[in-house]
Chains A and B, each alone.
Chain A
C-alpha cells in the first residue's frame, strides 16, 4: 500500500517550458487536491477534485490546469512555466463522501519544481 505517489520528485524547467506533475493514490479515495508551498509559508490550494469527473479552482489556480484521469490519478499541468511557479507541490487525497470519512488528508512526499 503506497498511499499517495507523486512524480517527479525534482524538476528544473526553463521559463516557458511545460510539464505535468503526476499523482496517484491507491486508497480508493474520492477527493484529490493539489497544493503548492513556498519557502516558510503554509500550503495554498491550487485545484481540487471532489470526485472523479469533477475539478474546481482553489486559491491560486492561475497558470495551472488539472485532469482527473480516473479515480486514482490527478495530474497538474504547467503550460508555460514562470519563475513565480518555483515551489514544492503536494498532492493529497481524502475519502470524502464515504462512510468512513474522517476528513483526514493523506499527502504525497512532494515535487520540488524550479523554474529558471
Chain B
C-alpha cells in the first residue's frame, strides 16, 4: 500500500487559491490518486481523482507530476465553507484493495 504524507494543517483567507500537496513516494503503476473532503460530524466526500498530469472539475484541480511521487490539490478562490479536513488516498482501481486514509490536512479559511 502506498503511504501518503500531507501537512497537518493550513490556513488561508477567503478568495485565495489553496494548494495542498501530498507525497506518495512508493506509488505503484496501477495506482490512482483520490482526494476527499470531510466536514465535522460527516463522512468524507469525494472531490477529485487522477492518474497523471492535470485533472479539473467544477470544484478543484489535481496536478500530478510525471514521476507521480506527489500530487497537489488546488482549490480556487476558497470560501469559509471550504474549511474542512482534506485526505489524499492512493490505490488501484482494478484489484480489491484496502483503502486507507492518512491523518489528512486541516484547512482553515479565515475571513
Contacts and interface: CB of A to CB of B under 8 A. Distances in A.
A48 interface: yes
A106 to B, nearest CB: 8
A105 B46 contact: yes
Contacts of A59: 98, 100
B42 interface: yes
Contacts of A50: 96
Q: How large is the interface on B (under 10, 10 to 19, 20 to 34, 35 or more residues)?
A: 20 to 34
A65 B46 CA distance: 27
A43 B96 contact: no
Given A101-B93, A103-B91, A103-B93, A58 B98 contact: yes
B32 A48 contact: no
B42 A110 contact: yes
Given A103-B34, A103-B49, A107-B44, A42 B87 contact: yes
Interface residues of A, number: 29
A110 B41 contact: yes
B49 A105 contact: no
Interface string B81-93: 0000001000101
Contacts of A94: 99
Given A48-B99, A102-B49, A104-B49, A43 B93 contact: no
A113 interface: no
Nearest to A91: B43
Nearest to A3: B43
Interface in B69-111: 87, 91, 93, 96, 98-104
17 contacts: A41-B103, A42-B103, A43-B101, A44-B100, A44-B101, A50-B96, A96-B96, A102-B93, A103-B32, A103-B34, A103-B93, A104-B46, A105-B46, A107-B45, A109-B42, A109-B43, A110-B43
Interface of B: 32, 34, 36, 41-46, 49, 87, 91, 93, 96, 98-104
